[in-house]
Amino acid sequence: MMTEVVIGKEELFAKFQALTEEMQGESLIAAAQAGATVIVDAAKENIKGEGLIRTRNLSRSIHSEVDASSATSASVNIGTNVEYAAIHEFGGTVTAKNGKYLAIPVGSYKGSPRDHDDLVPVKTKGGSLVLMDRSGTVQYVLKASVQIPAQPYLRPAMDENQERTINAMAKAFLQVIDRMTGTGTE
Residue range 136-144: mean pLDDT, rounded: 95
Specify the pLDDT at position 2.
53
Q: Which helix (H) or strand (E) segment is 93 a member of?
A: strand 92-95
Q: Which helix (H) or strand (E) segment is 167 a member of?
A: helix 162-181
Residue range 28-56: mean pLDDT, rounded: 87
Contact 51, 62 (CB under 8 A): no
How many separate helices (H) and strands (E) can be counted in the chain?
6, 8
pLDDT higher than 80, residue 176: yes
pLDDT higher than 60, residue 1: no
